[in-house]
Structure 1
Amino acid sequence: MKTVIHKSDSRGFANHGWLQANHSFSFAGFYNPEKVHFGALRVLNDDMIAPSMGFGTHPHDNMEIITIPLKGVLKHRDSMHNEWQAVLPGEVQVMSAGTGVQHSEINGSAEEHLGLFQIWVFPDKQNVAPRYDQKAFDPEERKNKLQTLVTSIDENHEGSLKIHQDAVLSRIDLDKGQTFNYKLKSNKHGVYVMNVYGEFVIDGNTLQTRDAIGVSEALDFEIETKEDSSILFIEVPMEF
């Protein structure tokens, strides 16, 4: 098993006043040649956005974009939809940028900060028709069991959102003292494990809140929790 450790304080950080952004991988003004991507995972941004502020209209193409609100209310509008759409904690949003899309993202609250993960995954198909979807996932359904959020559009998996990549995004909330065995799709995949909160051990490495570990060249691995923990798994092909 091959591992790479990314401690929370090793991430890139940008303070824009209205935006506090942590970058797990090289992004905007943050560049680290050892942190450009993990397989097909290109971006994992951990953003905190001030009330009523956000990202104005901007373009994307040929990227699979997944957004996971953690607190507050995200409002999204794009060139496929004229109306603002709310995305709440417990929901996940996916957008295939494909041939090109313009979108805006703002904090929909005038009082509360918005916290979210934004994830970019390289697609396995170029210049597809842009598409958008969002779905609510019951937190009770990930209590000490794996909850699948996103899978490949080519895979027959009911209940998950779809992207153009042989990837799997999932979450689990584990109680203190639990052991969980994560199984990868194949030895050609790797999984980037983000500690949303808590403390757990993988392969002798202790990970605390917002620490991450990339695991590859393995078919499975064990997680042992030292505290109640919420974990995000981003499994992607290592070659694409």
Structure 2
Amino acid sequence: MNDTVSFGYEDVTREEKTARVGGVFTSVASRYDLMNDAMSAGMHRLWKDRFVRRVQPRGGEQILDMAGGTGDIAFRLAKSGASVTVADINPSMLEVGIERAAERGIDGLVWTEANAETLQFPDRFFDAYTIAFGIRNVTDIPAALREAHRVLKRGGRFFCLEFSTVTWPGFADVYDAYSHHLVPRLGNLLAGDADSYRYLIESIRRFPDMPTFERMIGEAGFVRTRVEPIMGGLVAIHSGWRI
């Protein structure tokens, strides 16, 4: 096991990454929607709609939405009648989600503080596991994938929405310039926090490319793995099944 992991473009200890990622999300929690709008030019709302359509939640299912503190994915999943547990390692993010649910009159969601690498849920409990724009911030990604596999029932499905590596020529250069130069400035303007936004962009660059991450999902025990690039790989929907 390596002694260091990536925090943006830095290599830090595992403990330091966990602490610093926590600081980032505590800092941006109240402006999380603005953050996502800045990073995706507002497109994240459409990507999340598409993601939930791929999950195909159904009434009566038990679904774990990991790193879902602000409720964006859970609110969409809950429309199906599924029982949704929202888990996040960061209590500030959960507070935002709970407040948003109350404002929207959304009841019935379960909110819990949890580390994706060491989930407190029993084996084979959930019908589906979702994680959107969260997996790249996990300190030990293989451990989180193994935990996702463990808590899913046989026939359970794993879905991950994450920024990835743009493969379209030309567009990759445009997005690279936009993200590296404009997004931190927007972060400073909108939230007074350029550094957190800079980390989030750098974390995208350090995240495994689509084939590599798909292989990691398979190594965690999932079968029928699939990757669906969106906008040339700007983001991707990864999926797999537990049998």
Tell me the TM-score range normalised by the shorter chain.
Answer: under 0.3
TM-score normalised by length of structure 1:
0.26
Which structure: greater helix fraction? 2
Which structure: greater strand fraction? 1
TM-score normalised by length of structure 2:
0.26
